[in-house]
Amino acid sequence: MKKFGTMLMTLCFSTLLPMAGCGLEDDISSGKAFLEAFPAEDTLIIETNGLDSQSSGIKAMSQALVGERADLHDLSFYVAHQINHQAQQIFRTVWFITRFAPTVAVEEDGILGEGKDAFAYNARAAWGPFRDDEGKNLEFILQVWRGLDPTDGRRVFAFFAAGRPLGGGEGDWVPFLYGGAKPFDGQAGEILRHGLVEVDCDALRQLDPNEDNVGQVTYAYIRGADYRVVAAVGEGIWADQNQDKVTDTTYFYGHTREDYTVLEFDTQADIETSQGPAPESLHIVTGWLKNGTGRSDAQVEGGDLGTASAQLTECWGIDLQQTYFHLRLDEVSQIEDGNAQSCMVADPIEVPAIDYQALRDLFDLDI
Mean local confidence (pLDDT), 79-97: 74
Cα end-to-end span (Å), the chain: 25
| Residue-wise burial string across 297-323, b where 16 or more C-beta atoms lie within 10 A, e elsewhere | bbebebbbbeeebbbbbbbbbeebebb
Cβ(367)–Cβ(145) under 8 Å? yes
With vertex at residue 222, the alpha carbon angle to CA 216 and CA 228, rounded to the nearest 5 degrees, is 110
Task: Report if residue 226 sits inside a domain.
Answer: yes
pLDDT tens figures, 180-197: 999 987 665 678 999 999
Degrees (nearest 5) of the Cα angle 190, 192, 198? 125
Instruction: Give the closest residue to 64 by CA, choosing from 266, 269, 252, 251.
Output: 269
Please give the single-letter amino acid code of residue 335.
I
- Give a yes or no: residue 256 inside a domain: yes
Tell me: pLDDT of 89 over 80.
no
79 belongs to a structural domain? yes
Residue 295, pLDDT above cutoff 50: yes
Query: Helix, strand or coil for residue 53?
Result: coil
Per-residue model confidence (pLDDT) at position 4: 35
Residues 6 or more apart whose CB falls under 8 angstroms from that of 46 comprise 80, 83, 84, 253, 261, 263
pLDDT digits (tens, 9 = 90+) for 30-82: 999 999 998 888 888 899 877 665 555 555 554 556 778 888 898 899 889 88
Q: DSSP of 150-178, one letter per residue?
A: TTT--EEEEEEEEEEETT--GGG-EEEEE
The answer, yes or no, to whether residue 22 has pLDDT greater than 80, is no
Q: What percentage of the chain has pLDDT greater than the value 70?
A: 83
Confidence label for 96 from pLDDT (cuts 50, 70 and 90): confident
**Bridge partners, residue 129, by sequence:** none
Q: What is the pLDDT of residue 203?
A: 92
Mean pLDDT, residues 200-224 taken together: 90
Residue 126 has pLDDT above 60, yes or no: yes
pLDDT of residue 159: 93
The tens digit of pLDDT for each residue in 343-356 reads 999 999 999 999 99
In this structure, are residues 338 and 325 in contact, taking their beta carbons and an 8 Å threshold?
A: yes
For residue 21, pLDDT over 50 is answered with: no
Phi, psi for 72 (deg, rounded to 5): -70, -30
- Cα separation values, 63 from 107, 118, 284, 326, 336, Å: 64, 57, 18, 12, 12
**Rg for the chain (alpha carbons), in Å?**
22
**Is the confidence at residue 26, as pLDDT, over 70?**
no
Q: Write down the pLDDT at residue 105.
A: 95
Which residue in 179, 159, 185 sits closest to 359, CA to CA?
179
Task: Tell me what the mean pLDDT of segment 327-332 comes to.
Answer: 89
Q: Is the pLDDT of residue 111 over 80?
A: yes
Q: Is 68 helix (H, G, I), strand (E, B) or coil?
A: coil
How many domains are there within the chain?
A: 1
pLDDT confidence bin for 14, thresholds 50/70/90:
very low
Question: Does 319 map to a domain?
Answer: yes
Residue 313 near residue 297, CB atoms below 8 Å: yes
Range of the domain at 104: 6-363
The residue among 100, 79, 116 whose CA lies nearest residue 266 is 79
pLDDT higher than threshold 80 for residue 251: yes
Q: Would you say residue 336 lies in a domain?
A: yes
> Is 1 part of any domain?
no
- Nearest Cα neighbor of 159 from 42, 36, 44, 43 is 36
> How confident is the model over 60-70, as pLDDT tens digits?
554 556 778 88
In the predicted model, is pLDDT for residue 236 greater than 80?
Answer: yes
- Give the pLDDT mean for 127-156: 90
- State how far the Cα of 111 lies from the Cα of 365, in Å rounded to an integer: 11
Give me the pLDDT at residue 108, please: 94
